């Protein structure tokens, strides 16, 4: 299993909620082969900080998603709400 952790700062706590809403409503990611589950959340002490945790079956599945038009569309939808770009860390078990 591959775990992708994406972290960014939004423009405001309300913007962070918008980003998580975009992630939660994404049908495309849930239909992507190899996607297992994911969650978007905000920091308790800094509600403008956004954390997205995704679990993927393989690195190849994650790579395919990251280069897909659907992933690009999600990034474009989230961009107006971001103060910084997402920084990604990837882990495997």
16-36 in b/e burial notation, b at 16+ Cβ within 10 A? bbbbbebbeebeebeebebbe
CATH number at residue 73: 3.30.70.100
Given a contact cutoff of 8 angstroms between Cβ atoms, the answer to whether 27 and 74 are in contact is no
Given a contact cutoff of 8 angstroms between Cβ atoms, the answer to whether 41 and 19 are in contact is no
The domain tally of the chain equals 1
What are the average pLDDT values for consecutive 10-residue runs of the chain, which has 93 residues? 98 98 87 93 98 97 94 95 97 95
Judged on CB neighbours under 10 Å (0-12, 13-18, 19+), 88 is middle
pTM: 0.93
Domain with 17 in it? 2-92
């Amino acid at each position: 299993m591959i775990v992708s952790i994406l972290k960014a700062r939004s423009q405001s706590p309300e913007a962070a909620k918008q980003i998580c809403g975009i992630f939660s409503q994404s049908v495309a990611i849930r239909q992507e082969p190899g996607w297992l589950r994911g969650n978007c959340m905000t920091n308790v002490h800094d509600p403008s900080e956004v954390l997205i945790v995704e679990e993927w079956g393989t690195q190849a599945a994650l790579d395919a998603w990251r280069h897909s038009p659907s992933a690009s569309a999600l990034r474009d939808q989230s961009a107006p709400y971001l103060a910084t770009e997402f920084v990604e860390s990837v882990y495997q078990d």
